[in-house]
Amino acid sequence: MPVDFEKQSYWHERFKSETSFEWLASSETFMTIIAPHLSRLPSRESQPRILQLGSGTSDLQNHFRASGYLDVTNVDYEPLAIERGRQLEEAAFGEVRLKYVVADATQLGNDLPPGQRFDVVIDKSTVDAVSCGGTTTLLRMASGIRKYLADGGIWISLSYSSSRFDVEDLPFDVEVIAKILTPKLKESEPDIYHHCYLLRPK
């Protein structure tokens, strides 16, 4: 990825015109992978608390809502992404019921209430953008996520990289739960996969 992917200014320019885009996989494909893990979460009043980091112009939140998950907080540090997310939900359901918060995924403590906890944190390629800022930035995101996870909570992350979490001092155990074969232009091209990770606090 170009270096600018960790910069808010890049996303601001992009979202001026982009209203809908899915990174790495469609929300349908991603939901198929994560649904069994969502259904196993400890639930509070039967609603797991979901935090999506870097929601962008994806419609993933609509898939959560359509599946009956209503305690969903969508976070992005670019206000235009938050506006797009609300618009996508309103277009699909006629009104907005999910939560949308402008916040930096690498400094969660600044923008989310300190006592708040989530049963699952989801990021669909946001970790790739954040990692353009270097390992320290990725570790800051990871330690923030860990603080906001409830007991038994998990982080599910989709990345183009097969070594995304090969970093020292990561406060999570990492497991690959799915690999998504990327489309090929020619049959002779090698197989390339995106990786879906499940991370549990150490």
Ligand X SMILES: C[S@@+](CC[C@H](N)C(=O)[O-])C[C@H]1O[C@@H](n2cnc3c(N)ncnc32)[C@H](O)[C@@H]1O
Give residues in contact with ligand X (CB under 6 A): 6, 11, 21-23, 54-56, 58, 76-78, 81, 104-106, 124-126, 128-130
Q: Closest approach of Cβ 150 to ligand X, in Å?
A: 21
Long-range contacts of 25-30 (CB under 8 A, 24+ apart): 25/124, 25/158, 25/180, 25/194, 27/58, 27/59, 27/60, 27/62, 27/63, 28/63, 29/180, 30/60, 30/63, 30/124, 30/158, 30/196
State in angstroms the smallest separation of the CB of 81 from ligand X.
Answer: 5
Which CB, 105 or 198, lies closer to ligand X? 105
Shortest Cβ 59–ligand X spacing (Å)? 9
| Residues facing 44 on adjacent strands | 47
To the nearest whole angstrom, how small is the minimum distance from the Cβ of residue 1 to ligand X?
Answer: 8
Q: Can you spell out the DSSP letters for 31-54?
A: HHHHHHHHHTS--BTTB--EEEE-
Distance CA 148, CA 167 (A): 21
Shortest distance, position 92 Cβ to ligand X, whole Å: 16
At 65, list the tokens: 């809502």
43 vs 147 by CB, closer to ligand X: 147
Task: Pick between residue 29 and residue 47 the one whose CB is nearest to ligand X.
Answer: 29
Closer to ligand X by Cβ: residue 23 or 197:
23
Q: Which is nearer to ligand X, 42 or 109 (CB)?
A: 109
Rounded Cα–Cα distance for residues 74 and 121 (Å):
10
52: which strand partners? 74, 122
